Amino acid sequence: MNSVYVVIMAGGIGSRFWPQSRSAKPKQFLDILNTGKTLVQLTFERFAGIVPKENIYVVTNAGYEAIVKEQLPHLTDSQILKEPVRRNTAPCITYACDKIYAKDKNATIIVSPADHLILQEEKFKEVVARSIDFVKDNGYLITLGIKPTKPATGYGYIQFVDEHSPDGFYRVKTFTEKPTPEIAKTFLKSGDFLWNSGMFVWKAKTLLRAIVKHLPEIAEAFREGNKHYDTPGEEKFIREAYSQCTNISIDYGVMEKADNVYTIPAQFGWSDIGSWDSLYEVYEHDYLGNAVAGKNVRIYDSANNMIMVPDNKLVVLQGLRGYCVIDTGDVLLVCEKEKEQEIKQITVDLKVADLDKYL
């Protein structure tokens, strides 16, 4: 595994997890699962069981460098890639792959968000190992697909063709962003759609060729990178490179356009923990379906709620069904679980109202 590397993307704000997730300390740096470890720590440990720790890189916003160093003390400065501004996943992944390729032309790279939950880690390792082997001698881009268990509207979908390799990989036909409930039901019934996990496996050179072909302006921005990586000039070079990059995801910029994209249908207890409802799904529930984090919560005639409150606060619920009740001390959020997608708009409204201190 000496030429296998992991890139953990940890630069997002997690606005759908407001008010727990704040711009100063977003959800990937929180112990939101009540395990005693943050999401980025759990992700790092997962991959430390697959590759050497020195082969794990974290890409994050420059403002989170201190948090990353505190939570992941094993990382050297070279392993923390600092983005000067947020430009979505295409520049982020290009930066990481280009830096790794500069030092190892044979590099195979696993890309993963920092804030996903994987319950069946041995199954996950098996899928990753098969993916590494599949791209070893081929110019393929692998996106890990998750077999859907319900017509979820919060995930993107991957459609694959019937023919598959002897290794169980299928060529990807289409990508679809978050569908309507009706379309999601159609996808589930068809049997040839998977949830898009946002995790990838590829050779560094394969991805960089795809960037040159499909996002030439981003490729050009990083063209001189090998002269600057791991030197005092890296930070200045990256600032200039990012100023030339468009804000675009790797899915939209490359994966939807490339003809060498494959997927593997997998099940390993995955959740992107992208929202309060998805967190509710993975929490333990009481007999009435309430998921509770907080030592002093009293519940009367209430069911199917997601409750997260401070241990030192007494919270009493009566007559609530299907709500999120999130108390951070300075902010109290009470909203219907099925309308939690509106939280992102709420944070926009707060910014307009000059209430940034709560964001």
Domain termination residue (choose one: 216, 250, 274): 274
Q: Please, what is the average pLDDT of the chain?
A: 93
Average pLDDT over residues 146-154: 86
CATH classification of the domain holding 126: 3.90.550.10
Is 237 in the same domain as 283?
A: no
Is 270 in the same domain as 282?
A: no
Of 134, 186, 131, 114, nearest in space to 157 by CA: 186
CA atoms in the 13 A half-sphere facing the CB of 308? 22
- The structure tokens 């804030």 sit at 115
Number of domains within the chain? 2
Q: Give CA–CA dist 231/320, Å, rounded.
A: 57
Whole-number pLDDT of residue 272: 86
Instruction: Identify the band that residue 274 occupies on the pLDDT scale cut at 50, 70 and 90.
Output: confident
State yes or no: pLDDT of 1 exceeds 80. Answer: no
User: What is the rounded (10 degree) CA torsion for 273, 276, 277, 281?
Assistant: 60
Give the residue with greater pLDDT, 104 vs 342: 104
Is 163 in the same domain as 208?
A: yes
Is 105 in the same domain as 185?
A: yes
- Per-residue pLDDT tens over the stretch 154-202: 888 999 987 677 778 999 998 888 888 889 898 888 888 899 999 999 9
Range of the domain at 322: 277-358
Burial class from Cβ neighbours inside 10 Å (0-12, 13-18, 19+) for residue 257 reads middle
Is 149 in the same domain as 118?
A: yes
Is 270 in the same domain as 281?
A: no
Amino acid at 91: P
Whole-number pLDDT of residue 13: 87
Is 139 in the same domain as 260?
A: yes
Going from the C-alpha of 268 to that of each of 42, 103, 121, 159, 228, the distances in angstroms are: 15, 32, 7, 19, 39
- The structure tokens 């496996």 sit at 201
Is 128 in the same domain as 186?
A: yes
Domain termination residue (choose one: 274, 295, 330): 274
- Per-residue pLDDT tens over the stretch 73-102: 999 999 999 999 999 999 999 999 999 999
- Per-residue pLDDT tens over the stretch 313-325: 999 999 999 999 9
- Per-residue pLDDT tens over the stretch 246-268: 999 999 999 999 999 999 999 99
Whole-number pLDDT of residue 155: 84
